[in-house]
A and B are shown apart, each in its own frame.
Chain A
């Protein structure tokens, strides 16, 4: 990470002088707009970004890269009072789609001839949640605006979020200077290694989003439908006997819920921990005698998972955090008070 930051510092100083010049010029030419050109705080940018991605209507194409894989996807987002409707379509490989609204998440898989319907989580009130979590974040991450850049033809601030310890990853966000949408995002480990990234190549803000744009291109007729949205009971106030005794500093329990597993109806206990940016889910499931046991580490892009068996239960920690974090958290799970 050090090399990475030094590099950014150089860009930063270069950009600083350029920006000073720009500000000066703008001030001379358009004195009234000079304020808009001054550098905002990283925190306010992040706050604006998380509002913008939900509250604007937009349509864009982005590249998603993890490991050696690269894919292109189209994203359409419509704002409404109930929390918005989103449609994500893969433009490479199988033409998969995910459509999400206030009620459900529908995933269309033409390659499997299947549609999976999951219940969507109720939207939280962002305005009440974010400022608090951002303050909490500053104990464990360093925020800085490291550069200005251009992505998808739009001017962007580059916000670097660097973790203070090895138990979480670092992020770099390219945030639109005018509309505050997220244009590019990188997930890096502490040594600066890029784990996963997305980058918009085209992004348009729309006045309205037609119903047509949010309709799946796949009818789903003849597909196998798996509707898991009905039997999922979530109880916000649920608290089980399970305890996670170790977690990185700044992490706290966000939520705990119970829901039945998909086929065998074994209930799964899902506890979510977060430091305000990184999230770790801990899943606890009772094993039947014939259940296949899984232990060890798994990975998907920047997401790591670690599973272990304890007292006839499988405990799995999943999160966009380093292996050591999911592993230590899973190992610390017990029924002790």
Chain B
């Protein structure tokens, strides 16, 4: 299993994930930088993500949506806080409408990613900070639980496509 460690801090509302991949940081970075690669793993199972706009550079941003099993679309936007390719980036993730306009009434989540050469190749550290419990609840309400049941099927699908 590539997940090394998951640390939850109930008080600070953070979730820190540390994982190790048998690939160099440049290859792991491309999973984030290339929207076609990113959308193959970002959405929860059953909620595939589509990135309509994706610019992982200072001042850049992204607009994506995840489509649920009922055809429901959940839009989000990233606002890039800083980028140090291929080592680190920080984005603010906000809920948005279909036009990609952030919903300022809802809180954002900050996502900080760090890639370090080491271990089997690259150590990924991902820190998600929720502005409030409400933001956490909304992220979870996006159908993650039922979606997880299809996790293995989705991974198999990616693999079949990769080897085709």
State yes or no: do A and B come from one complex.
no
Taking Cβ atoms with an 8 Å cutoff, the residues of A that contact B are none
Taking Cβ atoms with an 8 Å cutoff, the residues of B that contact A are none
